[in-house]
Amino acid sequence: MSIDPAPERPSAAREAIFSAATRLFGERGYTGTTMRDIAKAVGILPGSLYAHIQSKEAVLLEIIEGGVDRFNAAVDRIDAMNLAPEPALRQAVREHLRIVADSPGRTLIVFHQWRFLDDENRDRLLAKRAHYEAFFVRTVRSGIELGHFDEHLDPKVTVLAMLGALNWTPEWFSPGGPASPDEVADKIADGLLGGTLRRA
């Protein structure tokens, strides 16, 4: 019986490059960060970067795509749980805040710096972002159809308002604050879902 080889771990140098790039993109923005800046932060010559990465944009793409994939994996797990619409949305808000809390700086890059990608990479990321949004739209629409949510809601507008609020949480949420990500998420969910529930 053959045994598949274990997946190759990223090199320490590559991990250092991505860590430095994430910090610098967060502090200076993508356009304000040069390859020389990244190399200096890692402690290697600028030309040596290309032994580990293809380009600055390739680093940005990997940072953003890895983040978006985490969000999509979270809602895919919730989908598989077959929860009712309101508990599903509450769990999605919790998962969202957990990912934000894990790295607010990286999450800001994921949400706001995808615009610096070229057309092909931007389209690829927008398709993945659409997958995340579709979970929320589908869940809100199901809640309306089941009579759990107000029948007058516009699912698309409702979801854009929800995601607009969630996508700004890394601007103000502090992982070192007195409230845990789940506690903050539950308060956010109370506020976001309070306007969706069907009135007696």
Tell me the per-residue pLDDT of 120-171, one tens digit each, with 9 for 90 and over.
999 999 999 999 999 999 999 999 999 999 999 999 999 999 999 999 999 9
Name residue, tokens 């030309």: 47
**2 within domain boundaries:** no
Tally the domains of the chain. 2
pLDDT at 198: 62
pLDDT recorded at residue 11: 81
How high is the pLDDT of residue 197? 64
CA dist 53 and 20 (Å) reads: 13
pTM for the predicted model, two decimal places: 0.89
Q: Which domain holds residue 62?
A: 55-194
pLDDT number for residue 10: 54
| Domain CATH number, residue 23 | 1.10.10.60
pLDDT (0 to 100) of residue 7 = 42
Task: Let me know whether 37 and 71 are in one domain.
Answer: no
The verdict on 87 and 135 lying in the same domain is: yes
Q: Does residue 158 sit in the same domain as residue 74? A: yes
Question: Distance (Å, rounded) from C-alpha 94 to C-alpha 186?
Answer: 7
Q: Give dist(CA 124, CA 116) in Å, integer.
A: 13
> Backbone dihedral region of 144: left (phi > 0), alpha (psi from -120 to 50 degrees) or beta?
alpha
- Together in a domain, 104 and 160: yes
Tokens 């993508």 belong to residue: 30
Q: What is the structure's pLDDT at 104?
A: 93
Low-confidence ranges of the chain (pLDDT < 50): 1-8
